[in-house]
Structure 1
């Protein structure tokens, strides 16, 4: 069966790598892909927002499965488009329809859903430019830190944690009046800051049954010790030490099952991944956000731990047999470290030649994010450039391997965090 993956990052590289291992997967195409995905399939230079062009490609190359890694395509309704076409509706789409994708596409929609179905989350209010004065008054009485989020998609960068009133007002000005993220910040959600430690939980679901995937913890801040601006993600660890059976039971009972009941009540046709961003507050799970696809860089940490055939898992999704699927997981720790361009997440230069990949040990995985081939040379083409993932029997050993590999890969201005997993040491969990 031929598969088309939508996206161009390290997440899509990891999905292509994993699917290519299946005996049932004949050809893998990635649109548009990157220099790394080309090693596991064929890159297709297609505008992923042009659904007609994607439809033509799917017909021309006998695509039978569409795996949507990229959130914008889901929010724009790619699943609805394919299912609504007589020539495309036979294609198995991994990713929800537009109505379900709004769980990620709008923070306000997400918070309303959480509140309606009594799923634990932080208190919040939503404001627009028209209610800027009310938002400012609200912030005067708000506790600090305060979390201010752009309502729409902002590539993981639309969250500001304001430490005081002045910083919060500056953030409001930037988002609502200066339109820092365009239409994505035409509304903002202001919510209370939850004191705890984050964890990302993933399920694959048809809206009724689900398979629980390995959890991970990602690191969004650019600086060591979780300082500086938010990024798309600087690294990840899986499994997460504090996520024991008791905590996961609470997650299933208080978050996953109410979420599925809500999907059914809202008549959401949901068929794909649900990423549940949680805050562990004194052992209790609170939902920070939903994403309707796999996370990045979490994908690069969790897929290497899945021993089961990913293609067969997707077939179980579309055959409504997830309840019968037994996921086999590697018990070892996976550590992922992201290498980024100097200056990221703000201004950065592209086109820098990358070297040192030949020095990476064979048992360390390298997933490309922002790379391309230029006159026979591998060069950077984005802010986040390469993710390296190492597996080992302990977190310390996995991180040592991943950091050594990261150090071997180089280009002008290359930067990475050396402290991924710093807050998961046993001494911090007592």
Structure 2
């Protein structure tokens, strides 16, 4: 089977690493890819950077030329832009298996407002909220005064994981609302702003693979979003992750399945949304009860880097079955080992940072997996090419053993101006 993965991050490297191990995989391409995917697949650097009509056409041409049988869409942008719809509308691709929902399904991530309405309609537990635009900003400013502190503000559209602000004062919340709606703080993503109640609890992510009818629940994970230790500073795309999550016991995960997963799948069916792919459910555990913070329509990054290594069986037949609505016959075999990943980022991230720094020491790592995110290969050297650069994943019989492998491996990798959090997973050691 010839497979094409769209994307260039750590998530895509982890998926490529796993798919490349399948005896059913003949040729594996990643577009545009990074220096890590280059080790397990063929990169197509000129592809997958744009998803306008020309970009979609070029992807279609590549699929035809290389007889691609399975397309796995890694990030959210091509899904929100309608890559799945484009390919399904063309007769030439009617046999192509696609892991990734259509544009309507992708709106679950593409619009926080849409997701909130979906949850309300399907009685899925979530924080109370209202949505505001520039047209009713004065009403929004008054609404803030009626809420309890802290207050959560979310950009409605895609903001690379950075469009959520938790304000500790009314003045800060009002200033942020103005900044988002009047000054385009997150560009067009904040043309609408969702203001919602703050949920006090412990955050985690549950991942579902669905063919639109049946589903498999993948290993859950806990992500660490803030740039600073002890969860301080601005949000990032993710600074580390651990899987499984100690507080997500069988009873809690059963609640997630009954109260959230099943009604979500039924809600998609009722809305006639053709959803075949990954569904990321961001949750808050509030006194033992799950509440949905957000939906994402793809795997998380860096959660993929701890979820995928725990899947013991061949993932390629499962992905192919997902795309062809034959998931009912598939089963997952999950390792009981703990996985942790520590993300190494460029100095200055999530604000301005430099690219093009040479990375050394990756080949010295022997007891962990190094997944590339923001990297590129140049003259057989690995250079930084993004804010989040590498995710270093260790596994072990317990959290401490996994973390020890991650951190001892991180210490072998060097470039000018790197940074990583030194407290990933520490909060889980006492649970």
Q: TM-score, normalised by structure 1?
A: 0.98
Cα–Cα, structure 1 residues 18 and 48, in superposed 2: closer, same or farther, change >3 Å? farther
Contact 1:35 1:378 in 2 (8 A): yes
Contact 2:223 2:240 in 1 (8 A): yes
Aligned CA-pair RMSD: 0.9
Question: Which residue number corresponds to residue 242 of structure 1?
Answer: 247
Contact 1:206 1:272 in 2 (8 A): yes
The 1-side partners of 2:109 and 2:212 are apart by 16
The 2-side partners of 1:33 and 1:178 are apart by 34
The 1-side partners of 2:353 and 2:3 are apart by 34
Task: Choose the corresponding residue for 2:81, options 51, 76, 82.
Answer: 76
Task: Choose the corresponding residue for 1:404, options 402, 408, 425.
Answer: 408
Q: How does 1:3-402 map to 2 (within 5 A)?
A: 3-44=3-44, 45-46=46-47, 47-49=49-51, 50-361=55-366, 363-402=367-406
The worse-fitting range, judged by mean Cα deviation, of 371-380 and 161-170 is 371-380
Contact 2:80 2:107 in 1 (8 A): yes
Contact 2:240 2:342 in 1 (8 A): yes
**Structure 2 unmatched ranges of 5 or more:** none
Contact 1:48 1:54 in 2 (8 A): no
The 2-side partners of 1:180 and 1:3 are apart by 38
Contact 2:70 2:320 in 1 (8 A): no
Contact 2:36 2:371 in 1 (8 A): yes
Deviations 1:11-57 (A, max 9, x none): 00001000000011111111100111011111112134110010011
* C-alpha displacement of 1:214: 0.4
3-state secondary structure, aligned to 2:238: coil
3-state secondary structure, aligned to 1:390: strand
Deviations 1:319-347 (A, max 9, x none): 43322212101100000000000010001
**Structure 1 unmatched ranges of 5 or more:** none
3-state secondary structure, aligned to 1:408: coil
3-state secondary structure, aligned to 1:247: helix
The 2-side partners of 1:408 and 1:193 are apart by 39
The worse-fitting range, judged by mean Cα deviation, of 37-46 and 216-225 is 37-46
* C-alpha displacement of 1:423: 1.7
The 1-side partners of 2:312 and 2:62 are apart by 31
Q: How does 1:412-427 map to 2 (within 5 A)?
A: 412-426=416-430
* C-alpha displacement of 1:170: 1.8
* C-alpha displacement of 1:182: 1.4
The 2-side partners of 1:90 and 1:181 are apart by 39
The 1-side partners of 2:8 and 2:132 are apart by 33
3-state secondary structure, aligned to 1:269: coil
3-state secondary structure, aligned to 1:323: helix
Question: Which residue number corresponds to residue 2 of structure 2?
Answer: 2
- Where has structure 1 moved over 6 Å in runs of 4 or more? none
3-state secondary structure, aligned to 2:411: helix
Contact 1:159 1:230 in 2 (8 A): yes
Contact 1:31 1:48 in 2 (8 A): no
The 1-side partners of 2:329 and 2:35 are apart by 37
Contact 2:212 2:325 in 1 (8 A): no
